[in-house]
Amino acid sequence: MTTASAHLPTHVAIIMDGNGRWAKQRKLPRIEGHRRGVETVRTITEAARENGVRYLTLYAFSVENWKRPPAEVSALMGLLEYFLKRETKNMVRDRVRLLTIGRTEELPEVVRTQLDAAKKATAHFTDYTLVLALNYGARTEMIDAARAYAKAVASGQASLDDDSWGSLSRYLYTADIPDPDLIIRTSGESRVSNFLLLQGAYAEFLFTPVLWPDFDKAHFAAALADYGKRERRFGLTSEQLTPSKPA
């Protein structure tokens, strides 16, 4: 199912939430919810491409997720490795580029190896991009960006006199990625959980009660259709966006 909206978002970002509750409702171990969530990643990556969404960012593992039980963290890393091994060939087939944001250098070596291989295999594609937010947190990103900006100023590569947003945003993880137009959170929670706080300053938000493992192509198309009905003003008035015709 594809959307007919004339106002298609270039970049959709999703906070994938509800795996644990999905499993609990079915009296299954939490890891089963995460396994089902991996299948949804494949489904929604396909849906984004089929609907012409050029950038899809998925919040896969936050800096706070390390605080979860060690067994669950280990299982999540194993699922990430499995996903990358299985899906790299599909991303190559579908000409989808893989990028990451976050402190990926802190991930287990086996995961980093698979990430590097997948990114290298898809680096030359430009039509569609899947961005995995891994060991990501917006506040951590701001710390890293401020540190990099300070080093650039100290070395003469940047100037404090240039106080534009564009100057600082070059040091964010997302420097080469357009800001999200639409941010979706599944599972009924209505918070952003330290995700793309700066980049999402003017994003449209959609909070759906659907748990991530149940989020399918029809739900994604409905989200795009809802987005297409909205008026994005970026601080302007409706009249400025659609000025009246001269008499």
135 part of the active site: no
174-198 mean pLDDT? 97
The mean pLDDT value for 51-73 works out to 97
Please check whether residue 49 lies inside any domain of the structure.
Answer: yes
The answer to the question of residue 169 being in a domain is no
List strand residue ranges (DSSP E) for the chain, in order. 11-15, 55-62, 96-101, 128-136, 182-185, 204-207
Mean pLDDT calculated for residue range 215-219: 98
Q: How confident is the model at residue 166 (pLDDT cuts 50, 70, 90)?
A: confident
Report residue 3's pLDDT band, with 50, 70 and 90 as the boundaries.
Answer: very low
Instruction: For residues 109-131, give the mean pLDDT.
Output: 97
Is residue 244 scored above 60 in pLDDT? no
Q: pLDDT value at position 131? A: 98
The better pLDDT of the pair 232, 164 is held by: 164
Q: Quote the domain boundaries for residue 106.
A: 11-137+179-228
Give the span between the Cα atoms of 111 and 127, in whole angstroms.
25
Instruction: Judge whether 214 counts as a catalytic residue.
Output: no
User: Per the domain annotation, does 160 fall within a domain?
Assistant: no
> Residue 119 and residue 114: Cα distance in Å, rounded?
9
Active-site pick, 19, 51, 65, 135: 65
Region 162-178: mean pLDDT is 91
The single residue of 17, 19, 135, 181 carrying the catalytic annotation is 17
DSSP bridge pairs for 62: 136
Radius of gyration of the chain (CA): 19
- 221 lies in some domain: yes
In this predicted structure, what is the pLDDT of residue 4?
41
Structural domain contains residue 73: yes
Region 110-120 average pLDDT: 97
What pLDDT is attached to residue 241? Answer: 65
Residue 122 lies in a domain: yes
Q: What is the largest CA-CA distance in the chain?
A: 70
**Residue 246, pLDDT above cutoff 60:** no
Q: What is the mean pLDDT of the chain?
A: 92
* Residue written as token pair 């605080």: 67
**Per-residue confidence band for 164, with pLDDT thresholds at 50, 70 and 90:** confident
**Structural domain includes residue 95:** yes
How many domains, in total, are found in the chain?
1
Residue 72 included in any domain: yes
Mean pLDDT of 102-106: 97
CATH number, residue 188: 3.40.1180.10
pTM of the predicted protein model: 0.91
**Which pLDDT score is estimated for 234?**
65
Distances (CA, A) of 154 to 55, 80, 159, 167: 34, 38, 9, 15
Contact between residue 136 and residue 195 where contact means Cβ atoms under 8 Å apart? yes
CB 3 within 8 A of CB 51: yes
